[in-house]
Amino acid sequence: MPTSSAAHPSTPSTVWLTRGRHTGSAPGEVLRGQLQRFKETGEITDFLELPEDARPAGKLVFEARWSVPDEVTVRARLELDEDADREQTRAWALIAEAEAPWNRRWPSPATRLWPEEPWEIDGQWDHSQLAGLRFRAANALPSDDKELRRVLRSAARDDWSVHVVVHEAMTPDARGREPLTRFLTDGLRDRVVEHRAAPQQLRAVNWALKEARVELPRGGAVILPRGDIDPADYAVRTVFLDGSEPAELVEAVNRFATVPQPLPDGADALLTSLREDWHLLTLQEELDRERQLVAMYAEALDAMTRSRDLYREAAERAHEALEVYRESAGAVDSVSEPTPARPAPAVSPLQQLTRTFERFKLPKKPGS
Protein backbone atom coordinates (compact mmCIF):
# COMPACT_ATOMS: atom_id res chain seq x y z
CA MET A 1 0.00 0.00 0.00
CA PRO A 2 1.55 3.40 0.78
CA THR A 3 5.29 3.27 0.27
CA SER A 4 7.97 4.89 2.36
CA SER A 5 9.06 8.33 1.24
CA ALA A 6 12.68 7.34 1.90
CA ALA A 7 12.73 5.03 -1.14
CA HIS A 8 13.12 7.84 -3.68
CA PRO A 9 14.24 11.48 -3.70
CA SER A 10 11.51 14.11 -3.53
CA THR A 11 9.88 15.38 -6.69
CA PRO A 12 11.28 18.88 -7.37
CA SER A 13 8.78 21.72 -7.03
CA THR A 14 9.50 22.68 -10.65
CA VAL A 15 8.41 19.29 -12.04
CA TRP A 16 5.03 18.10 -13.38
CA LEU A 17 4.56 14.48 -14.40
CA THR A 18 1.99 11.86 -15.30
CA ARG A 19 1.71 8.71 -17.36
CA GLY A 20 -1.04 6.76 -19.05
CA ARG A 21 -2.02 4.61 -22.01
CA HIS A 22 -3.16 5.36 -25.54
CA THR A 23 -5.79 3.10 -27.11
CA GLY A 24 -5.49 4.14 -30.75
CA SER A 25 -3.59 2.55 -33.62
CA ALA A 26 -1.19 5.40 -34.45
CA PRO A 27 -0.37 7.53 -31.39
CA GLY A 28 2.92 8.65 -32.93
CA GLU A 29 1.07 10.21 -35.85
CA VAL A 30 -1.33 11.89 -33.45
CA LEU A 31 1.55 13.45 -31.54
CA ARG A 32 3.36 14.63 -34.67
CA GLY A 33 0.24 16.23 -36.12
CA GLN A 34 -0.81 17.84 -32.87
CA LEU A 35 2.62 19.25 -32.07
CA GLN A 36 2.90 20.72 -35.53
CA ARG A 37 -0.51 22.41 -35.16
CA PHE A 38 0.41 23.72 -31.71
CA LYS A 39 3.65 25.13 -33.10
CA GLU A 40 1.79 26.88 -35.92
CA THR A 41 -0.73 28.40 -33.50
CA GLY A 42 1.99 29.45 -31.06
CA GLU A 43 0.81 27.27 -28.16
CA ILE A 44 4.27 25.74 -28.10
CA THR A 45 7.55 27.32 -29.17
CA ASP A 46 9.07 24.28 -30.83
CA PHE A 47 9.19 20.47 -30.74
CA LEU A 48 11.48 17.66 -31.81
CA GLU A 49 11.13 13.92 -32.35
CA LEU A 50 14.38 12.21 -31.42
CA PRO A 51 16.01 10.03 -34.11
CA GLU A 52 16.29 6.32 -33.52
CA ASP A 53 19.94 6.42 -32.48
CA ALA A 54 19.24 9.03 -29.79
CA ARG A 55 16.33 7.39 -27.98
CA PRO A 56 15.80 4.29 -25.82
CA ALA A 57 15.09 1.07 -27.67
CA GLY A 58 11.38 0.45 -28.26
CA LYS A 59 10.40 4.06 -27.52
CA LEU A 60 9.31 7.10 -29.47
CA VAL A 61 10.57 10.25 -27.76
CA PHE A 62 9.23 13.77 -28.26
CA GLU A 63 10.57 17.00 -26.78
CA ALA A 64 8.64 20.27 -26.65
CA ARG A 65 9.04 23.68 -25.10
CA TRP A 66 6.71 26.58 -24.48
CA SER A 67 6.25 29.58 -22.22
CA VAL A 68 3.71 30.10 -19.45
CA PRO A 69 2.72 33.41 -17.79
CA ASP A 70 5.61 35.59 -16.54
CA GLU A 71 7.74 34.29 -19.43
CA VAL A 72 8.64 31.09 -17.63
CA THR A 73 9.98 28.43 -19.99
CA VAL A 74 8.71 24.86 -19.74
CA ARG A 75 10.53 21.89 -21.23
CA ALA A 76 8.74 18.56 -21.64
CA ARG A 77 9.72 15.04 -22.66
CA LEU A 78 7.21 12.33 -23.63
CA GLU A 79 8.19 8.70 -24.09
CA LEU A 80 5.78 6.40 -25.93
CA ASP A 81 6.00 2.63 -26.42
CA GLU A 82 6.39 1.73 -30.08
CA ASP A 83 4.74 -1.69 -29.70
CA ALA A 84 1.21 -2.24 -28.40
CA ASP A 85 0.44 -4.64 -25.57
CA ARG A 86 -2.10 -7.45 -25.69
CA GLU A 87 -4.91 -4.95 -25.19
CA GLN A 88 -3.63 -2.92 -28.16
CA THR A 89 -2.67 0.00 -25.96
CA ARG A 90 0.62 1.84 -25.75
CA ALA A 91 2.03 3.18 -22.50
CA TRP A 92 3.33 6.73 -22.37
CA ALA A 93 5.05 8.83 -19.71
CA LEU A 94 5.35 12.60 -19.65
CA ILE A 95 7.55 14.82 -17.52
CA ALA A 96 7.85 18.61 -17.70
CA GLU A 97 10.05 21.04 -15.81
CA ALA A 98 9.69 24.80 -15.53
CA GLU A 99 12.24 27.46 -14.70
CA ALA A 100 10.20 28.29 -11.58
CA PRO A 101 8.12 26.30 -9.08
CA TRP A 102 5.13 24.75 -10.79
CA ASN A 103 1.86 26.69 -10.67
CA ARG A 104 -1.20 24.45 -10.82
CA ARG A 105 -3.02 27.11 -12.86
CA TRP A 106 -0.60 26.74 -15.75
CA PRO A 107 -1.81 24.73 -18.76
CA SER A 108 -1.49 20.97 -18.49
CA PRO A 109 1.62 19.68 -20.26
CA ALA A 110 -0.47 16.69 -21.37
CA THR A 111 -2.66 18.96 -23.50
CA ARG A 112 0.42 20.66 -24.94
CA LEU A 113 1.38 17.38 -26.58
CA TRP A 114 -1.90 15.45 -26.82
CA PRO A 115 -5.16 16.94 -28.20
CA GLU A 116 -7.38 18.68 -25.65
CA GLU A 117 -10.37 16.50 -26.54
CA PRO A 118 -9.23 12.84 -26.64
CA TRP A 119 -12.38 11.56 -28.33
CA GLU A 120 -11.85 13.70 -31.43
CA ILE A 121 -8.94 11.55 -32.64
CA ASP A 122 -8.19 7.96 -33.50
CA GLY A 123 -8.08 6.43 -30.04
CA GLN A 124 -7.84 8.06 -26.63
CA TRP A 125 -4.73 9.07 -24.73
CA ASP A 126 -6.33 9.82 -21.37
CA HIS A 127 -6.44 6.26 -20.01
CA SER A 128 -4.74 5.74 -16.67
CA GLN A 129 -1.90 3.25 -16.45
CA LEU A 130 -4.31 1.10 -14.44
CA ALA A 131 -6.48 -0.83 -16.88
CA GLY A 132 -10.07 0.34 -17.19
CA LEU A 133 -9.53 3.73 -15.54
CA ARG A 134 -9.42 7.13 -17.18
CA PHE A 135 -8.50 10.66 -16.27
CA ARG A 136 -11.28 13.26 -16.65
CA ALA A 137 -13.92 10.59 -15.98
CA ALA A 138 -16.03 9.26 -13.11
CA ASN A 139 -14.80 5.64 -13.00
CA ALA A 140 -17.41 3.35 -11.45
CA LEU A 141 -15.90 0.74 -9.15
CA PRO A 142 -16.51 -2.89 -10.22
CA SER A 143 -19.59 -4.59 -8.79
CA ASP A 144 -17.60 -7.75 -8.04
CA ASP A 145 -15.99 -7.42 -4.60
CA LYS A 146 -12.83 -9.26 -5.60
CA GLU A 147 -12.32 -7.02 -8.62
CA LEU A 148 -13.15 -3.94 -6.53
CA ARG A 149 -10.40 -4.84 -4.06
CA ARG A 150 -7.92 -5.36 -6.89
CA VAL A 151 -8.68 -1.94 -8.38
CA LEU A 152 -8.40 -0.07 -5.08
CA ARG A 153 -5.22 -1.82 -4.00
CA SER A 154 -3.64 -1.06 -7.36
CA ALA A 155 -4.76 2.56 -7.02
CA ALA A 156 -3.23 2.80 -3.55
CA ARG A 157 0.13 1.64 -4.98
CA ASP A 158 0.05 4.02 -7.94
CA ASP A 159 2.42 6.86 -7.11
CA TRP A 160 2.13 8.60 -10.51
CA SER A 161 -1.49 9.72 -10.14
CA VAL A 162 -3.76 11.18 -7.47
CA HIS A 163 -6.64 8.78 -6.73
CA VAL A 164 -9.88 10.13 -5.27
CA VAL A 165 -12.65 7.80 -4.08
CA VAL A 166 -16.17 9.28 -3.91
CA HIS A 167 -19.16 7.57 -2.29
CA GLU A 168 -22.58 8.12 -3.83
CA ALA A 169 -24.92 8.30 -0.86
CA MET A 170 -27.77 7.77 -3.29
CA THR A 171 -27.90 7.09 -6.99
CA PRO A 172 -27.12 10.42 -8.67
CA ASP A 173 -28.92 11.93 -11.64
CA ALA A 174 -27.21 12.86 -14.91
CA ARG A 175 -25.64 15.98 -13.41
CA GLY A 176 -24.34 14.02 -10.44
CA ARG A 177 -22.71 11.46 -12.72
CA GLU A 178 -20.52 14.11 -14.34
CA PRO A 179 -16.87 13.80 -13.23
CA LEU A 180 -15.84 16.04 -10.37
CA THR A 181 -12.39 16.41 -11.89
CA ARG A 182 -13.85 18.96 -14.33
CA PHE A 183 -13.72 21.46 -11.45
CA LEU A 184 -9.97 21.05 -11.09
CA THR A 185 -7.43 23.27 -12.82
CA ASP A 186 -5.78 22.09 -16.04
CA GLY A 187 -2.58 21.28 -14.21
CA LEU A 188 -4.38 18.74 -12.01
CA ARG A 189 -7.06 17.36 -14.30
CA ASP A 190 -4.69 15.05 -16.15
CA ARG A 191 -3.17 13.65 -12.97
CA VAL A 192 -6.30 12.77 -10.99
CA VAL A 193 -8.27 9.52 -11.25
CA GLU A 194 -11.79 9.66 -9.80
CA HIS A 195 -13.39 6.45 -8.48
CA ARG A 196 -17.12 6.25 -7.79
CA ALA A 197 -18.53 3.86 -5.21
CA ALA A 198 -22.23 3.00 -5.50
CA PRO A 199 -24.42 3.46 -2.40
CA GLN A 200 -24.26 -0.25 -1.47
CA GLN A 201 -20.46 -0.52 -1.90
CA LEU A 202 -19.35 1.53 1.12
CA ARG A 203 -18.57 -1.46 3.34
CA ALA A 204 -16.68 -3.31 0.60
CA VAL A 205 -14.66 -0.19 -0.23
CA ASN A 206 -13.65 0.44 3.38
CA TRP A 207 -12.71 -3.22 3.77
CA ALA A 208 -10.46 -2.96 0.70
CA LEU A 209 -8.90 0.28 1.97
CA LYS A 210 -8.34 -0.94 5.52
CA GLU A 211 -4.75 -1.95 4.79
CA ALA A 212 -4.02 1.62 3.64
CA ARG A 213 -5.48 3.05 6.90
CA VAL A 214 -8.13 4.82 4.81
CA GLU A 215 -11.82 5.20 5.59
CA LEU A 216 -14.31 6.58 3.09
CA PRO A 217 -17.03 8.67 4.78
CA ARG A 218 -20.61 7.87 3.83
CA GLY A 219 -21.60 10.33 1.13
CA GLY A 220 -18.12 11.85 1.17
CA ALA A 221 -14.73 11.36 -0.46
CA VAL A 222 -11.13 10.53 0.41
CA ILE A 223 -7.80 10.91 -1.37
CA LEU A 224 -5.67 7.78 -1.24
CA PRO A 225 -2.47 8.70 0.67
CA ARG A 226 1.15 8.31 -0.35
CA GLY A 227 4.23 8.10 1.83
CA ASP A 228 3.69 9.39 5.36
CA ILE A 229 0.54 11.41 4.60
CA ASP A 230 -2.26 11.05 7.14
CA PRO A 231 -5.38 10.04 5.16
CA ALA A 232 -7.62 11.71 7.74
CA ASP A 233 -6.27 15.08 6.56
CA TYR A 234 -7.66 14.45 3.10
CA ALA A 235 -11.07 13.02 3.85
CA VAL A 236 -14.17 15.08 3.00
CA ARG A 237 -17.30 14.34 5.01
CA THR A 238 -19.87 15.41 2.43
CA VAL A 239 -19.84 15.74 -1.36
CA PHE A 240 -23.06 16.86 -3.07
CA LEU A 241 -23.46 15.19 -6.43
CA ASP A 242 -25.90 17.72 -7.83
CA GLY A 243 -23.69 19.35 -10.45
CA SER A 244 -22.37 22.03 -8.09
CA GLU A 245 -18.68 22.52 -7.42
CA PRO A 246 -17.43 20.40 -4.48
CA ALA A 247 -15.34 23.21 -3.02
CA GLU A 248 -14.08 21.25 -0.01
CA LEU A 249 -12.93 18.34 -2.16
CA VAL A 250 -11.26 20.64 -4.70
CA GLU A 251 -9.42 22.37 -1.86
CA ALA A 252 -8.29 19.00 -0.47
CA VAL A 253 -6.95 17.91 -3.88
CA ASN A 254 -5.11 21.23 -4.26
CA ARG A 255 -3.56 20.81 -0.80
CA PHE A 256 -2.59 17.23 -1.54
CA ALA A 257 -0.88 18.26 -4.78
CA THR A 258 1.35 20.77 -2.95
CA VAL A 259 2.70 18.26 -0.41
CA PRO A 260 6.25 17.17 -1.37
CA GLN A 261 6.13 13.63 -2.70
CA PRO A 262 8.84 11.07 -3.55
CA LEU A 263 9.60 10.67 -7.24
CA PRO A 264 7.46 7.82 -8.61
CA ASP A 265 9.06 4.58 -9.72
CA GLY A 266 10.83 5.17 -13.02
CA ALA A 267 10.44 8.95 -12.93
CA ASP A 268 14.03 9.56 -11.79
CA ALA A 269 15.38 8.15 -15.08
CA LEU A 270 12.91 10.24 -17.06
CA LEU A 271 13.90 13.39 -15.16
CA THR A 272 17.59 12.67 -15.72
CA SER A 273 16.96 12.29 -19.47
CA LEU A 274 15.04 15.56 -19.54
CA ARG A 275 17.86 17.44 -17.81
CA GLU A 276 20.98 15.78 -19.20
CA ASP A 277 19.93 14.46 -22.62
CA TRP A 278 17.98 17.44 -23.93
CA HIS A 279 18.22 17.98 -27.71
CA LEU A 280 15.78 20.82 -28.46
CA LEU A 281 18.21 23.70 -27.92
CA THR A 282 17.86 27.35 -28.79
CA LEU A 283 20.81 29.12 -30.42
CA GLN A 284 21.75 30.69 -27.09
CA GLU A 285 21.59 27.29 -25.35
CA GLU A 286 23.82 25.79 -28.05
CA LEU A 287 26.36 28.58 -27.51
CA ASP A 288 26.18 28.10 -23.75
CA ARG A 289 26.69 24.36 -24.14
CA GLU A 290 29.72 24.90 -26.40
CA ARG A 291 31.18 27.33 -23.86
CA GLN A 292 30.68 24.76 -21.13
CA LEU A 293 32.43 22.13 -23.24
CA VAL A 294 35.34 24.50 -23.94
CA ALA A 295 35.61 25.30 -20.23
CA MET A 296 35.49 21.60 -19.35
CA TYR A 297 38.21 20.73 -21.88
CA ALA A 298 40.34 23.65 -20.68
CA GLU A 299 40.01 22.46 -17.11
CA ALA A 300 40.95 18.91 -18.12
CA LEU A 301 43.98 20.18 -20.06
CA ASP A 302 45.04 22.30 -17.11
CA ALA A 303 44.76 19.29 -14.83
CA MET A 304 46.88 17.22 -17.23
CA THR A 305 49.48 19.99 -17.40
CA ARG A 306 49.62 20.22 -13.61
CA SER A 307 49.99 16.45 -13.39
CA ARG A 308 52.82 16.51 -15.96
CA ASP A 309 54.65 19.27 -14.04
CA LEU A 310 54.25 17.40 -10.77
CA TYR A 311 55.56 14.23 -12.39
CA ARG A 312 58.55 16.09 -13.84
CA GLU A 313 59.32 17.68 -10.45
CA ALA A 314 59.06 14.31 -8.73
CA ALA A 315 61.39 12.73 -11.32
CA GLU A 316 63.96 15.53 -10.85
CA ARG A 317 63.88 15.12 -7.09
CA ALA A 318 64.31 11.36 -7.44
CA HIS A 319 67.29 11.91 -9.76
CA GLU A 320 68.87 14.34 -7.29
CA ALA A 321 68.36 11.86 -4.47
CA LEU A 322 70.01 9.14 -6.57
CA GLU A 323 73.05 11.36 -7.25
CA VAL A 324 73.40 12.16 -3.55
CA TYR A 325 73.25 8.46 -2.78
CA ARG A 326 75.93 7.63 -5.34
CA GLU A 327 78.23 10.39 -4.02
CA SER A 328 77.76 9.12 -0.48
CA ALA A 329 78.53 5.55 -1.53
CA GLY A 330 81.72 6.67 -3.34
CA ALA A 331 82.96 8.54 -0.27
CA VAL A 332 82.57 5.46 1.86
CA ASP A 333 84.52 3.29 -0.60
CA SER A 334 87.45 5.77 -0.66
CA VAL A 335 88.13 5.59 3.12
CA SER A 336 91.28 3.43 3.87
CA GLU A 337 90.66 0.33 5.91
CA PRO A 338 93.10 -2.19 7.48
CA THR A 339 94.31 -4.78 4.97
CA PRO A 340 93.02 -8.10 6.10
CA ALA A 341 95.55 -10.98 6.58
CA ARG A 342 95.95 -13.07 3.48
CA PRO A 343 94.44 -16.45 4.10
CA ALA A 344 96.82 -19.40 3.99
CA PRO A 345 96.79 -21.16 0.66
CA ALA A 346 94.59 -24.10 0.65
CA VAL A 347 96.31 -27.52 0.80
CA SER A 348 95.32 -29.90 -1.91
CA PRO A 349 94.15 -33.39 -0.94
CA LEU A 350 97.20 -34.96 -2.68
CA GLN A 351 99.61 -32.84 -0.66
CA GLN A 352 97.79 -33.73 2.52
CA LEU A 353 98.06 -37.45 1.74
CA THR A 354 101.80 -37.15 0.91
CA ARG A 355 102.49 -35.44 4.24
CA THR A 356 100.68 -38.18 6.07
CA PHE A 357 102.77 -40.93 4.49
CA GLU A 358 105.96 -39.01 5.25
CA ARG A 359 105.22 -39.26 8.97
CA PHE A 360 105.23 -43.06 8.70
CA LYS A 361 108.67 -43.40 6.93
CA LEU A 362 111.19 -45.72 8.74
CA PRO A 363 114.38 -44.03 10.03
CA LYS A 364 117.49 -44.49 7.88
CA LYS A 365 120.15 -47.03 9.01
CA PRO A 366 123.58 -45.65 9.87
CA GLY A 367 125.89 -45.68 6.94
CA SER A 368 123.15 -46.09 4.42
How far apart, in whole angstroms, are the C-alpha atoms of residue 140 and residue 145?
A: 13
3-state DSSP assignment of residue 221 = strand
pLDDT at 5 over 50: no
Query: How many domains are contained in the chain?
Result: 1
Query: Which residues, including other chains, have CB under 8 Å from residue 142's CB and lie 6 or more apart?
Result: 148, 151
Domain presence at residue 364:
no
Residues 206-264 pLDDT 10s: 999 998 889 999 999 999 998 788 889 999 999 999 999 999 999 999 999 999 989 99
Query: Which residues, including other chains, have CB under 8 Å from residue 123's CB and lie 6 or more apart?
Result: 22, 23, 24, 25, 26, 27, 30
Percentage of the chain with pLDDT > 70?
84
Number of neighbouring beta carbons within 10 Å of residue 251 = 11
How far apart, in whole angstroms, are the C-alpha atoms of residue 285 and residue 280?
A: 9
Domain presence at residue 303:
no
Domain presence at residue 88:
yes
The pTM (predicted TM-score) of the whole model is 0.77
Beta bridge partners, 60, equal 80
pLDDT at 120: 45
pLDDT at 99 over 90: yes
pLDDT at 358 over 70: no
Q: Give 356's pLDDT tier (boundaries 50, 70, 90).
A: low
Beta bridge partners, 20, equal 92, 128
Decide if 132 contacts 139 (C-beta within 8 A): yes
Q: Which range has the top average pLDDT, 81-90, 205-214, 353-362?
A: 205-214
Domain presence at residue 256:
yes
Beta bridge partners, 64, equal 47, 76
Residues 17-61 pLDDT 10s: 999 999 888 899 999 999 999 999 999 999 999 999 999 999 999
Domain range enclosing 27: 5-276
pLDDT at 168: 97
pLDDT at 119 over 80: no
Domain presence at residue 281:
no
Of 361 and 81, the structure prediction assigns the larger pLDDT to 81
pLDDT at 107: 93
Nearest to 7 by CA among 259, 156, 226: 226
Domain presence at residue 229:
yes
Q: Rg (Cα) of the chain, in Å, rounded?
A: 41
Nearest to 217 by CA among 235, 190, 241: 235
Beta bridge partners, 22, equal 90
Nearest to 10 by CA among 265, 257, 261: 261
> Pseudo-torsion of CA 211, 212, 217, 223, nearest 10°?
-160
Domain presence at residue 314:
no
Residues 333-343 pLDDT 10s: 665 555 555 55
pLDDT at 197 over 80: yes
3-state DSSP assignment of residue 319 = helix
3-state DSSP assignment of residue 163 = strand
Domain presence at residue 98:
yes
Beta bridge partners, 95, equal 17, 77
Q: Which range has the top average pLDDT, 13-17, 185-189, 302-306?
A: 13-17
Q: 326-363 in b/e burial notation, b at 16+ Cβ within 10 A? A: eeeeeeeeeeeeeeeeeeeeeeeeeeeeeeeeeeeeee
Q: Give 289's pLDDT tier (boundaries 50, 70, 90).
A: low
